[in-house]
Homo-oligomer: A and B are copies of this chain.
Amino acid sequence: MSVVFAQGFSAAGVRGGISSVEGKKDVAVVVNNGPLNVAAGVFTTNRFAAAPVQYSRNIIASGHARAMVINSGGANACTGEAGYAQVEQTADYAASLLGCASDDVLIASTGLIGELLPLDAVFHGVEKAVNALDSSEEAGAYAAEAIMTTDTRPKTVCIEGTGYRVGGMVKGSGMIAPQLATMISVITTDAIVSSELAQSALREATSRSFDCIDVDGCMSTNDTVIVLASGASGVEPGAEEFTAIVCDACAQLARQIIGDGEGASHDIRIEVRGAGSYAAALACARAVSSSNLLKCAIYGNDPNWGRVVSSLGTVPVDIAAFDPQKVTVDINGVRVCDGGKPGEPRERVSMEEREVHIDINLHTGSSAQAVVWTDDLTLDYVHINADYES
């Protein structure tokens, strides 16, 4: 159901001809039919932010948008003024077909960096998509499919609130760093919310979801997460409940990105407990999640805790104070490192499941904790990224 699960939304996913992959759908349009047109967004912090990111960031500042056009097959990043003009032309064209203002249209792109889009194909896709707009399950599914690049499957979420709904879709598989780790996500809701609440709920949600996953430590130029609220349910939820549901939606989508990480054979959950603060726990979990050596070991079904602690040891004391002699590491429930020394024999660790749990306790006396998800580093990851056309 994806982005059309909530009332007041229609969507479509079609092939415009942008992607070089035969038959691949490459244009999605999502329309908020109201009555509200609330919008909020979080974007990449990359200084080479793509043209559509620069454009949509300006639109979102108003707190309102009516529609969103997303294309795969080209990122429109590092394309200068010509690229920015392409975004404006696309928004103008979509607005003319939808009968709304140009600054009611958000744009997002994903694909290769450093090339202009084939604008004819984009326009063709937008026209087809606008004609195909629908609130059916199929329309939502097609939209989720159209935004995929190296993803092997669409990723969607549907959550029932108290009298309102939240749905969403995301694409993302590689170039996933723990700084807004996604390429593009759209969350829709029929709740009545202000743009301020939508923005604060989204910020909170991304910090605990997309900011806590790491496929390859590489930050994208195109990361865009958008919330659109139609108010069509007539229900105005409390801020706390709404935030919790948006957090849940983002967490579910982020988990799906890890489950579809490029070439991955294991999903790795790294939990750091007993830290002095959330920031300290997060820094430690991220240090471990970014270790190529650990990720290769997990691919080899080797519960190599030496690569866990050697990564942990790179975190500066002023960021996370802990005594290395007190640290424990459990892998899939077996305490392989106890007080900075060898614990149970690692042969006792079963690595058969896709999911691998690495539980680290810093034993600082405080109880702050953080969780980061990552994937293993496999032959297929290298294959995919060595052969991906530049």
Residues of A at under 8 Å CB distance from B? 45-49, 75, 77-80, 82, 112-115, 174-175, 177, 179, 216-221, 290-293, 296-297, 299-300, 302-307, 309-315, 317, 324-325, 337, 339-342, 346, 377-379, 381-390
User: A309 and B340: CB pair below 8 A?
Assistant: no
User: B114 and A299: CB pair below 8 A?
Assistant: no
Q: Which of A80, A313, A317, A324 has the most CB of B within 10 A?
A: A313
Q: Which residues of B contact A79 (CB under 8 A)?
A: 341-342
A5 to chain B, nearest CB (A): 33
Q: Please name the residue on chain B nearest to A220 by beta carbon.
A: B310
A271 to chain B, nearest CB (A): 19
User: A313 and B219: CB pair below 8 A?
Assistant: yes
The distance in angstroms between the C-alpha atoms of A311 and B218, with both chains bound, is: 7
Q: Which residues of B contact A305 (CB under 8 A)?
A: 114
A56 to chain B, nearest CB (A): 17
Q: Which residues of B contact A390 (CB under 8 A)?
A: 297, 302-304, 306, 346
Q: Which 8 A-B pairs have the closest CB atoms?
A: A113-B306, A300-B386, A296-B385, A48-B313, A80-B341, A46-B313, A304-B390, A47-B313
Q: What are 5 inter-chain pairs, A to B, with CB distance below 8 A?
A: A114-B341, A216-B293, A296-B385, A296-B386, A297-B388
The distance in angstroms between the C-alpha atoms of A216 and B294, with both chains bound, is: 11
Q: Which residues of B contact A299 (CB under 8 A)?
A: 382, 386
The distance in angstroms between the C-alpha atoms of A20 and B144, with both chains bound, is: 51
Q: Please name the residue on chain B nearest to A386 by beta carbon.
A: B300
Q: Please name the residue on chain B nearest to A378 by beta carbon.
A: B382
The distance in angstroms between the C-alpha atoms of A299 and B311, with both chains bound, is: 25
The distance in angstroms between the C-alpha atoms of A296 and B385, with both chains bound, is: 5
User: B217 and A309: CB pair below 8 A?
Assistant: no
The distance in angstroms between the C-alpha atoms of A300 and B382, with both chains bound, is: 9
Given contacts A217-B292, A292-B385, A315-B47, are A77 and B310 in contact (CB under 8 A)? yes
Given contacts A219-B313, A306-B112, A325-B80, are A297 and B48 in contact (CB under 8 A)? no
Instruction: For A300, give its contact among B46, B313, B381, B387 (CB under 8 Å).
Output: B387
The distance in angstroms between the C-alpha atoms of A385 and B302, with both chains bound, is: 10
User: B341 and A47: CB pair below 8 A?
Assistant: no
